[in-house]
Amino acid sequence: MEHFDDLVAAYRILAEHGVIDAYGHVSIRSPDNPQRYYIARSLAPEVVQVEDIMEYDLDSKPLDERGRESVRERFIHGEIYKARPDVKAIVHSHSPSVIPFGVSKTRLQPIYHMSSFMGVDVPVFEIRDVAGSASDLLVRNARLGAALANVLGDKTVVLMRGHGSVTVGTSIPQVVFRAYYAEMNARLQSEAIKLGAVTYLTADEAAASAKTNDALVMRPWELWKRKVTKPE
């Protein structure tokens, strides 16, 4: 199934670019049934294969467990798919340049057109507000997933304090593009801030640019997919 091939490719692409480490994950909503989603079993992203993909309902209950271990934080995915019918693909990562923005008061903002999809407000999910100050920081149940989805609102990215971030999109190529350029933006914004006052994209620029970029997400996708699927 092409969707599964793309999902496997997404895991590998994001691992190769350092967006996800051994603990990130990618999911897609089922193209056949919007009440279902697919995500890999608990496994290092670089080695995910089609047979590692599991199916879940939107309560994040596995439908074809067959002895495979589910990722603990699948509720991130299920609850966002519930709250956001427009979302078809989700990435959860600990992408390194984004982490510092989740623990400081400096907001992540688009400094160039490639990250215009972020708009002018990237919210931060403070798990202490829901789980108190002694949690293990994982979104390990539906209640926490719903709280995260609530902070995400209608945005494309939400940061998770002391943990990572979540990026959503309408397709795998788009969400991979977004996860990659969220990381790039964080790196560049951090450097730019050290140089002095920064001119960010206006809301209108971000909106116009995001629309343009949506038509161009296949260019890196095809390159990236080719690189992770070529015979060794």
Q: Which residues are tagged catalytic?
A: 73
Q: Which of 83, 120, 130, 138 binds its own copies (CB under 8 A)?
A: 138
Q: Does 200 bind its own copies (CB under 8 A)?
A: yes
Q: Does 106 bind its own copies (CB under 8 A)?
A: yes
Restricting to residues 161-190, name those near its own copies by CB under 8 A. 161-164, 184, 187-190
Label residue 127 left, alpha or beta by phi (over 0 means left) and psi (-120 to 50 means alpha).
Answer: alpha
Count of residues touching its own copies (by CB under 8 A): 65
Task: Return the structure tokens found at 112.
Answer: 């160039």
Q: Does 143 bind its own copies (CB under 8 A)?
A: no
Number of other residues whose CB lies within 10 A of the CB of residue 28? 24
Q: How far is CA 74 from CA 36, 102, 135, 138, 173, in A?
A: 12, 21, 17, 10, 20
Amino acid (1-letter code) at residue 82: K
Least CB distance from residue 205 to its own copies, whole Å? 6
Q: Does 114 bind its own copies (CB under 8 A)?
A: yes
Number of other residues whose CB lies within 10 A of the CB of residue 226? 10
Q: What is the rounded distance in angstroms from the CA atom of residue 36 to the CA atom of residue 19?
A: 25
Residue 62 DSSP class: B
Q: Does 9 bind its own copies (CB under 8 A)?
A: no
Please work out, in degrees rounded to the nearest 5, the angle formed at the alpha carbon of residue 75 by the alpha carbons of 70 and 79: 145
Mask: binding to its own copies, 13-32, rule CB under 8 A, as x and -? --------xxx---------
Q: Does 222 bind its own copies (CB under 8 A)?
A: yes
Least CB distance from residue 48 to its own copies, whole Å? 11
Q: Which residues bind its own copies (CB under 8 A)?
A: 21-23, 42-44, 46-47, 94, 96-97, 99-106, 110-114, 116, 133-138, 161-164, 184, 187-202, 204-205, 207-209, 211-212, 216, 219-220, 222-223, 226
